[in-house]
Chain A
């Protein structure tokens, strides 16, 4: 047994993933808004909007059960639409507000806060 301290394992270099790479260029809020927008546009381009009529149409509940796949697609579209319209812009605005608040409220790394030295008389 040796008194020498246990060797510290060298840091394992983890290749940065896609999310980590993206976070280098955009915040989590912006990434989430972008993901919502992307999914919504995909759903829109795929024609999911047309399935909303299945839910609201005059079909009987039994017929709706028979068309459960279309009902799920319609529900997915509605959730994505609401997220795109309500949540996406909220996230983008929140990102700007957060940047401002962080700038105002969080001390910068390395910055030191020094109390005024009361012992030193003011100049003059």
Chain B
């Protein structure tokens, strides 16, 4: 067969044109993809309950209304991480309290679920002990403080009770909150850096900041005054619990303040949010530092690193999947939603929501929503980020002279 003399150059030119076309097309399309995943800002940032939030909340309320479904969900969560069982409850209660304050017409069903969660959590604590919601290593070593108690459970339980009472007073919860806060303060005062253990000789900024927020909420409800203690805690944290490289609160430390884990996205976004009730300027500073060190964007999709480049750490179960090279952490990115929303950083919030819409695999059915790439605790955090605000406003309103 005769081959035209110009065939090889022509073929090579065709291939080169195809490759160049693909490269140019990718350069056009990939930076534009995020536009197709942008959230409806008016719906997401408005004063009402967004369609997405309503779908997430409805699914959780279904789960808590059906004992069999609830047992399955709890078992699924505990099979991987018992902590997530408690955290899922806490963030759901926090979400429902905010929803109830945001839209009074939803107060009844929201409080019904909140009370069911609180009563069930208290029952489990009573029946199985204070370490029920902890990972197995809680039993492997000796707690420094006696008797062993976890700030993780005490703080989150107090937060749930306090948030419930912000929406509507309940006498039995009032007593329970006051007792819990007294225990928390007593144990924190006994710690050399004003923190209590979550695990044996292991304190977490996450748990202690939640406990501090619960104390502030209790003060606003009951007229108690822990302002001096809270101020002392912030001074101590600035001096002994911050990472020298980044100025961020470290994640975990021994009871006497020796760092175990440096700053982590899965701690700091949430810690900054809870510290808003303790010291707003310190909280804002932590958020700004976290944003500088951890918040990133690629092709318009926002995400959070788990560790700042200046202070690398080691992966744990809370980090979730960490994408190599980008160091994007699914866990930290979910919690960054809370930070961004709490501090009014709408650009960061919307870019994180775009990532959620792109990579979260939302599954909607009959007005119920969940995220395929998430789990119960992740969905509860996502819901909390979308509805937070009114509870903190209510605390500030009550605390105002």
Contacts and interface: CB of A to CB of B under 8 A. Distances in A.
Contact of B24 (A29, A51, A55, A94): A94
A95 B375 CA distance: 40
A97 B79 contact: no
A52 B21 contact: no
Contact of A56 (B26, B29, B81, B373): B373
A66 B381 CA distance: 29
Contacts of B21: 29, 94-95, 97-98, 101
B18 interface: yes
Contacts of B28: 93
B63 interface: no
A97 B10 CA distance: 18
Interface string B375-395: 110000000000000000000
B376 A58 contact: yes
B373 A90 contact: no
A25 interface: no
A114 to B, nearest CB: 16
B79 A63 contact: yes
A53 B372 contact: yes
B30 interface: yes
B10 A56 contact: no
Interface string A49-68: 11111011111100100000
Given A52-B373, A90-B22, A93-B25, A58 B79 contact: yes
Chain A, interface residues (CB within 8 Å), range: 20 to 34
B79 A50 contact: no
A63 B76 CA distance: 11
A85 B373 contact: no
B322 interface: no
Contacts of B363: 49-50, 52-53
B17 A56 contact: no
A95 B20 CA distance: 11
B84 interface: yes
Contact of B361 (A49, A86, A94, A101): A49
A5 B309 CA distance: 76
Interface in B42-82: 76-81
Nearest to B36: A85
B121 interface: no
Interface residues of B, number: 31
B17 A98 contact: yes
Contacts of A53: 361, 363, 370, 372-373, 375
B13 A106 contact: yes
A53 B22 CA distance: 33
Contact of A49 (B20, B30, B77, B372): B372
A94 B13 CA distance: 16
A56 B79 contact: no
Contacts of A60: 79-80
Given A53-B363, A91-B25, A94-B22, A106 B80 contact: no
Contact of B375 (A29, A58, A86): A58
Contacts of A58: 76-81, 84, 375-376
B76 A56 contact: no
B26 A105 contact: no
Contacts of B374: 56
Given A49-B372, A56-B375, A85-B358, A97 B76 contact: no
Contacts of A23: none
Interface of B: 10, 13-14, 17-18, 20-22, 24-26, 28-30, 33, 76-81, 84, 358, 361, 363, 370, 372-376
Interface of A: 29, 49-53, 55-60, 63, 81, 85-86, 89-95, 97-98, 101-102, 105-106
Given A58-B76, A59-B79, 16 more contacts: A49-B372, A50-B363, A53-B375, A56-B375, A57-B375, A58-B79, A58-B81, A81-B361, A86-B30, A86-B33, A93-B25, A94-B25, A97-B24, A105-B13, A105-B17, A106-B13
14 contacts: A29-B21, A49-B363, A53-B373, A56-B375, A57-B76, A57-B80, A58-B375, A63-B79, A91-B22, A93-B25, A94-B24, A97-B21, A101-B21, A105-B13
